[in-house]
């Protein structure tokens, strides 16, 4: 019998509060995407390594720790769509 992998939450629908996210490569050493999801949005991704933040300050600190500086009104950047090929 095949071993079943635990499914990770790679989709969020209409969160109760704005939620910030960071998508990592499988080795968790490169950020592939980051942004926020408002209460009127849905996000789904093929990336398996995703961190969700309820506080923008924690999200921003993680990005800064990884060399990413964001603009105040920036919500989605650094999208690596190579997995689509």
Q: What gap in Å lies between CA 82 and CA 6, rounded to an integer?
A: 24
> What is the tally of structural domains in the chain?
1
Domain assignment of residue 52, given as a range: 11-68
DSSP 14: S
pLDDT tier for residue 84 given thresholds of 50, 70 and 90 = very low
The verdict on residue 78 lying in a domain is: no
Structural domain includes residue 85: no
pLDDT grade, residue 50 (50/70/90)?
very high
Segment 13-48, tens digit of pLDDT = 899 999 999 999 999 999 999 999 999 998 888 888
pTM over 0.75: no
In a domain, 77, yes or no: no
Helix, strand, coil % in the chain, rounded to nearest 5? 15, 30, 55
Q: Are 37 and 50 in contact (CB under 8 A)?
A: no
37 vs 83, residue with greater confidence: 37
51 within a domain of the structure (yes/no) = yes
Residue 80 placed within a domain: no
Residue 5 lies in a domain: no
Cβ neighbour number for residue 84 with a 10 Å cutoff: 6
């Amino acid at each position: 019998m095949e071993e079943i992998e635990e499914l990770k939450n790679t989709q969020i629908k209409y969160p109760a509060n704005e939620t910030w996210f960071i998508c990592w490569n499988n080795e968790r050493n490169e950020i592939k995407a980051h942004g926020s999801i408002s209460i009127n949005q849905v996000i789904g991704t093929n990336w398996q390594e995703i961190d969700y933040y309820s506080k923008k300050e924690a999200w921003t600190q993680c990005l800064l720790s990884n060399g990413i500086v964001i603009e105040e009104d920036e919500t989605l950047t650094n999208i690596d769509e190579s997995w689509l090929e």
